[in-house]
Amino acid sequence: MKQSILKLLCAALLVCAGSACGNFAKSNSEQSQTSPRSSLIKGTFNSDSAYRYISEQVAFGPRVPGTESHDACAEYIIDKLRQFQADSIIVQNATVTAYNGDQLPITNIMAQYNPELNHRILLVAHWDTRPWADNEADLDMRQKPIAGANDGASGTAVLLEIARSLDLEAPACGVDLLFVDAEDYGNSDGFGNNSDTWCLGSQYWTKHMPYTAANRPRYGILLDMVGGKNARFHYETFSYRSASVPTAKVWSEAKRLGYDNVFINSLGGSVTDDHMVITAAGIPTTDIIETQNEQTMTFPPTWHTHDDNLDNIDKNSLEAVGRTVLNVAYNEIPSK
């Protein structure tokens, strides 16, 4: 992951946002009274499978654009989507220029279920990994690429497990799964001044979206660093302001499924991530990401370090996110 968090908002904004959070909480309560939890669990999300998909990605090595491990992982993702019988698979290859002049061969991958339906939603994760370990305590190790078990592989794994479920039980709406590349090749110096150096894959994808005005997704959900130990997901501030519909859907669904101890009904930080790019392109997208870790008060402690490995992946976090997002997809019913 990318940019630093804008850690705290001013007091006035927090008061205002706190009021908005209260409105979300009211919606959660009202919906939970009319929808028993047992009747809302749809599909089959297996956290063991999701963990295995993380392990298989990590086994390739760091997935930095321009490396053999990156190319091998791209083929792996495509093969999995074929295995899960996506109705359509769109592979977008391109070359983009990084902030330091590096020419990056990137691969964005999109799988579609029910491509004939205009009523669609978009689920997104980045699958590349950071080429440097910016936050590594050992200075000699900072120039080595990270394994990216959480930052890259976890969101990708959850989407692959969702694809497996969609293959077993078709959704009522159209569902697009987008795996974007080159999210994590940005410039961390100066933080907010370099936001356009991140999310290069999604920047390219939004300029070449395979949609018409009629079938553009109603909203998107981005999954980033969703496998951390004891992860807690607060509202990401940009999502809360600019993608309120999908934000409310996700956190409400999590509450109904009993994951309100994982999806926290309060504001976290603001993050430069793929959701900003996709929202700006006309698809309001919320970001499920840990921005207020109780140890760091920002990202998880493994962020951009060599501790971002399989030892620090939590199947409970994968299950809470996977079941929640899968049920949001299954509960999306096209209007007649």
3-state SS record for the chain:
CCCCCECCCCHHHHHHHHHHHHHHHHHHHHHHHHCCHHHHCCCCCCHHHHHHHHHHHHHCCCCCCCCHHHHHHHHHHHHHHHHCCCCEEEEEEEEEECCCCCEEEEEEEEEEECCCCCCEEEEEEECCCCCCCCCCCCHHHCCCCCCCCCCCHHHHHHHHHHHHHHHHCCCCCEEEEEEECCCCCCCCCCHHHHHHHCCHHHHHHHHCCCCCCCCCCCCEEEECCCCECCCCEEECHHHHHHCHHHHHHHHHHHHHCCCCCCEEEEECCECCCHHHHHHHCCCCEEEECCCCCCCCCCCCCCCCCCCCCHHHECHHHHHHHHHHHHHHHHCCCCCC
CA distance 84 to 320: 22
Percent of the chain with pLDDT over 70: 87
> Which pLDDT score, from 0 to 100, does residue 39 have?
56
Q: Look at the block and give the residue holding tokens 């990708």.
A: 156
pLDDT tens track for 233-246: 999 999 999 999 99
Q: For residue 321, give Cα distances in angstroms to 9, 91, 94, 233, 260.
A: 26, 26, 31, 9, 11
pLDDT at 192 (0 to 100): 64
* pLDDT, tens only, 65-106: 999 999 999 999 999 999 999 999 999 999 999 999 999 999
Q: Is the pLDDT of residue 135 over 60?
A: yes
Looking at the DSSP bridge assignments, the partners of residue 313 are 228
In this structure, of 160-164, 188-192, 279-283, 299-303, the range with the lowest mean pLDDT score is 188-192
Q: pLDDT of 172-221, one tens digit each?
A: 999 999 999 999 999 988 556 789 999 999 999 999 999 999 999 999 99
Q: Does 5 have pLDDT greater than 90? A: no
Please tell me the predicted confidence (pLDDT) of residue 335: 82
pLDDT attached to residue 3: 46
Task: Determine the Cα–Cα distance for residues 210 and 204; give it in Å rounded to an integer.
Answer: 12
Mean of all residue pLDDT scores within the chain: 90
Give the pLDDT band of residue 8 (cuts 50, 70, 90): very low
Q: What is the pLDDT of residue 6?
A: 39
| pLDDT score of 33 | 34
- Tell me: pLDDT of 57 over 90: yes
Average pLDDT of span 288-293: 97
CB-based burial of residue 308 (10 Å sphere; 0-12 exposed, 13-18 middle, 19+ buried)? buried
Which of these, 268, 123, 287, 284, lies nearest to 198 by C-alpha position? 287
Q: In the predicted model, is pLDDT for residue 291 greater than 50?
A: yes
Could you read off the pLDDT of 148-176 as tens digits, one per residue? 999 999 999 999 999 999 999 999 999 99
C-alpha span between 74 and 94 (Å, rounded): 13
pLDDT of residue 221: 99
